[in-house]
Structure 1
Amino acid sequence: MSSWEWRRAVTNSVVLVEVAEEHGVGREEILRGTGIDPAVCSEPDGEVTAAQELALVRNLVTRFGDQPGLGVEAGLRMRLTMHGVYGLAVLSSPTLLEALGILVRYSALTTSFGRAWQQTDGAEFSIFLDDTEVPRDLRAFLLERDMASALNNWLLVLGAKPPLVRLEFAGGLSARMAPVFESVEVPLLDRDDPHRLVLNLAELTGPMPMASPLTAAHFEKECAELLERRGLHKGVAGSVREVLMRQMNGRVSQEEVAAQLNLSLRTMRRRLAEEGTSYRQLCSETYGSLAEDLLSTGLTVEDVAYRMGYSGAPAFSNAFKQWRGISPGRFAREVATQSHRSAVHH
């Protein structure tokens, strides 16, 4: 992320102000020079730029001399529900593994300023975090905040320790992170950039406590739209989505998409993996969302199948089940029921 002009929820900044105030530094002082209007801190949907939040972090770090543990204080105050649609997408994910996929794909909607991606290697599931573009003097604080927030929310939601195998931190920060993970007894190692969190893949297949595939798909769609509105870079995944949207019938091949993006198939797959997604996942998100939009207008399953270029309702129904885990008929009935209830309440 070479530019810090994309927007972030003001929630992160509000927490930083609260930490400063608890340490005896007033709101006016800690916000000085950040460009953040104090009034924005009271708006539920308020936003600041990434640059403004970083300026606030610098004020905090400068004022307290990059005190170890200060980032932990901020991280422990963060709740998953503070992240809006992102938090709801995570909570309603069908499995732990899919919840982590949301975390990776939409990490920019959380406290993180780094670039995240995932990798599976045998029995290990790894999350990489590249924060090398973060200002050097703020890196330790921000990593403390990210790690403390992630671990604390895992414990709050799941009530059990995460199945961590080892943690590998770059920049000589493993010792700084040790107090964050003291309660989980996991090896912390030094490594070159980027940071790496390794989990036991076999323990990530279980269901989330509040799993709801249809709800998760709805909120993930909103996460993607929110990223776009906030001006974040769309990456290769965004470019693939654009190609898919131009091919309504879903018959475009990976090779054709890669060619339209002037990439080799291997490079496209690698870049998508680095962004925490895959061609299959993007097809599911893109065509699933399009089908949902059409079904929500009241069109029949047969009409939607025709509009999306399928030979008939059976072929479309099979595809929709793969995308969303339920039949299009059931989805349409649930939408109609929800609309009826809303009309009655109003």
Structure 2
Amino acid sequence: MARTGTSAGLGTSPRGYDFVRSGNGVVIVSQFAIDQGLAVADVLADTGLSADRFDDPDFGVTALQELTVLRNLRALQPEYTGLGLDLGRRYRLTSFGPLGYGCLTSPTLGDALTLGLTYIDLTFAFCVPDVAADEERFRVRIQDQYLPDDLRDLLIERDITALMSVVNDLLPGGIRPTVIHLPGPRPAHAGRLARAWRVEPEFDRSETYSELPIELLATPLPQADPAMHARCVAKCGILAAARRGDGAALADRIRERLSRFDRGVPTIDQVAQEWHMSSRTLRRRLTEAGTSFRELLSEARREAATRLLTEGVSVGGVAQRLGYAEAAPFIRAFKSWTGTTPTADRGPA
């Protein structure tokens, strides 16, 4: 079977669990706990987290905090069988924000899976997938050597079930894997797993993986939308850069967004909303990269002004295109950028 790639990011090397991710996974676990009659404070114990932040769009947690929440939940219900399975059912496409909608609007199932694997850091998965394919099979192998021993079974069941749940949202009727291999002995709830996954899992295996018929990847998705898909992919890039602390990459993507003046001049609040973060977070990320929204906008305006003037657009027209109320403030800004006026810079007719 030819390898087609390993997902970058989460867990691809033996690393700690201090990286930050969306807090939505903790919110889902907390809501599950409430439905089980448990106190959220008990589930959040020893994490430093508070339910007061659940409505905060900037609510983020470390992977270690999320693992602690899962440990607390298991400790509070030691006799619960199939905990990972029932948690996984709570995850839907909408749980993943722009990534979920990007998958939903993908041309085919294969495109959706590729997008999900590319931006695995934007999911709540702990199971790192390694993907391979040949003429007959598409295999997703889980690198479970990076999972904590005490939560390995729960995380594997949760992440596989969440994947099935997401695929069911993508395709009416879902899909049926040809095989699922799992480590460890057959659990008491194996029958429930088989019904949920639509295949009888095989246990005590040396590798953890699932396989799909390769022809399924070409299945068109009913809600494919090229324009929406492109916007969602762009947002995923921004969020991934911000999540990984790559301020330079974030600044580059904002610079590219600001260069398109055909859609007007956005405010920082509008750009932050487009990428599902607060303006405060956006400002902080750009400061960490050694720049600011104002500087990026000024740079974009300067480059656009030079191009538009070269193309023969009038000074008033350029000013209007770049969001200035009138020509005078644009002329002053242009002189501060270049040391000359727009008319002089244009040269003789």
Q: TM-score range by the shorter chain?
A: 0.5 to 0.7
Which consecutive residues of structure 1, in runs of 5 or more, have no partner in the other structure? 235-241, 243-285, 299-339, 341-346
Which consecutive residues of structure 2, in runs of 5 or more, have no partner in the other structure? 1-10, 263-320, 322-349
How many angstroms apart in 2 are the aligned matches of 1:137 and 1:69?
Answer: 15
Q: Which residue of 2 aligns with 1:88?
A: 101
How many angstroms apart in 1 are the aligned matches of 2:81 and 2:192?
Answer: 9
Amino acid at match of 1:116: P
Bigger CA drift: 128-137 or 52-61?
A: 128-137
Distance 1:105 1:170, change over 3 A: farther
Q: Which residue of 2 aligns with 1:156?
A: 169
Distance 1:295 1:208, change over 3 A: farther
CA shift digits 1:23-64 (9 cap, x unpaired): 222111111101213222222341111111111011111221
Asked if 1 retains the 8 angstrom alpha-carbon contact of 2:186 and 2:204, the reply is no
Radius of gyration: which is bigger?
Answer: 2
How many angstroms apart in 2 are the aligned matches of 1:175 and 1:153?
Answer: 25
Q: Which residue of 2 aligns with 1:48?
A: 61
2:131 maps to which of 99, 118, 124: 118
Q: How does 1:140-151 map to 2 (within 5 A)?
A: 140-151=153-164
SS for the counterpart of 1:214 is helix
**What's the CA shift for 1:180?**
2.6
**What's the CA shift for 1:176?**
5.7
1:168 maps to which of 175, 181, 186: 181
2:210 maps to which of 197, 201, 217: 197
Distance 1:122 1:191, change over 3 A: farther
1:7 maps to which of 7, 20, 27: 20
Amino acid at match of 1:220: V
CA shift digits 1:292-346 (9 cap, x unpaired): 7597345xxxxxxxxxxxxxxxxxxxxxxxxxxxxxxxxxxxxxxxxx9xxxxxx
How many angstroms apart in 1 are the aligned matches of 2:244 and 2:136?
Answer: 36
SS for the counterpart of 2:244 is coil
Number of equivalenced pairs: 249
How many angstroms apart in 2 are the aligned matches of 1:200 and 1:99?
Answer: 16
Asked if 2 retains the 8 angstrom alpha-carbon contact of 1:96 and 1:205, the reply is yes
Amino acid at match of 2:168: L
Q: Which residue of 2 aligns with 1:278?
A: none
SS for the counterpart of 1:114 is coil
SS for the counterpart of 2:212 is strand
How many angstroms apart in 1 are the aligned matches of 2:255 and 2:27?
Answer: 39
The answer to whether structure 1 residue 57 and structure 2 residue 70 are counterparts is yes
Bigger CA drift: 21-30 or 55-64?
A: 21-30
Q: How does 1:183-194 map to 2 (within 5 A)?
A: 183=196, 185-190=198-203, 192=205, 194=207
Distance 1:185 1:56, change over 3 A: closer
How many angstroms apart in 2 are the aligned matches of 1:191 and 1:118?
Answer: 21
**What's the CA shift for 1:89?**
1.0
How many angstroms apart in 2 are the aligned matches of 1:37 and 1:78?
Answer: 21
Amino acid at match of 1:181: A
Distance 1:217 1:192, change over 3 A: farther
Q: How does 1:129-278 map to 2 (within 5 A)?
A: 129-172=142-185, 178-183=191-196, 185-190=198-203, 192=205, 194-231=207-244
